[in-house]
Amino acid sequence: MDRSCRAAAYVSRCRDPRRCAGPPKVGGVTKRANWAVTTHDWSKDVDADHLAQIRHHADHYGAGGRRHMILEVLAYANDEAESNGHVGRAVVTANADGTLTVTDDGRGTDTRLDSDGSIIRKPVMATRDVRFFDVSDGPRLPDGLPRHGMSAVAALCTVLVHENHRADGAWSQTYRRGVPDEELREMHAARATGTSVTFRPDASVRGPRSLTEDDLRAFRWLGVQSREAAESTEGRDGRVI
């Protein structure tokens, strides 16, 4: 499906503005360069220097091991639930192939239509979170370590698959060490909205591997369940990673 067809399909699903969160559209679709920066800079898909910085200082940004990575992902689900004004639900799955999957029941990562017809998902994996990354007085996660943002997870993973299911559509993209290795791809939407992140930490990531019982209860706006899966890892669209 070319860009114009994708844009038409997106717009046709967004007749009811209550279902399609996004920037104000005065006189039509707006330019991404004009979208407000609240957590990430919408104007770029990838910040290569930022990702390289994380990889170069893996001992710092990877401190806390897999446990901290999971907490970084859960923190976004907690943000989403707080924004919605009700307690959300997240499931952390340790897959048999060594990957981890974190799913939540939020609205799905913010995804918008640019004025040139491109569908743009907020670049949470490949650009810095302006609220947290390298700030001196940033919040700490339940393990006591600073919150860096989702890009600190993506940059230290050999593979990461980010799927978001929204009321107006669903999309998937694969990243390798934080860099997308394919374009944002539309996929069959699930029955419910939410976000799924499946990732394989690099072998260089050391430290605690699992959440503690206290971690499961640490997020005010999120109920967290941890489980193990016996089968191979598949995204919601059925692809094994």
Domain ranges of the chain: 3-17+41-228
The two three-digit tokens of residue 114, written as one number: 């640019």
CB 200 within 8 A of CB 156: no
Sign (positive or negative) of CA dihedral 215, 216, 221, 225: positive
Alpha helices in 38-169 (DSSP H): 48-56, 58-61, 65-84, 151-154
Alpha-carbon distance 112 to 25, whole Å?
11
- When pLDDT is averaged across residues 94-107 and rounded to a whole number, the result is 97
231: exposed, middle or buried (Cβ count in 10 Å: 0-12, 13-18, 19+): exposed
Rounded to two decimals, the pTM is: 0.85
| Element spanning 215, H or E | helix 213-216
SS3 99: coil
Q: Residue 69 to residues 11, 57, 117, 175: CA-CA distances in angstroms?
A: 35, 15, 34, 15
User: Tens digits of per-residue pLDDT, 1-34?
Assistant: 555 455 445 444 554 443 444 444 433 478 999 9
Alpha-carbon distance 171 to 7, whole Å?
13
CATH number of 3-17+41-228: 3.30.565.10
Q: CA Rg, the chain, in Å?
A: 17
Position 29 scores a pLDDT of 72
User: Tens digits of per-residue pLDDT, 154-194?
Assistant: 999 999 999 999 999 999 999 999 999 989 999 998 899 99
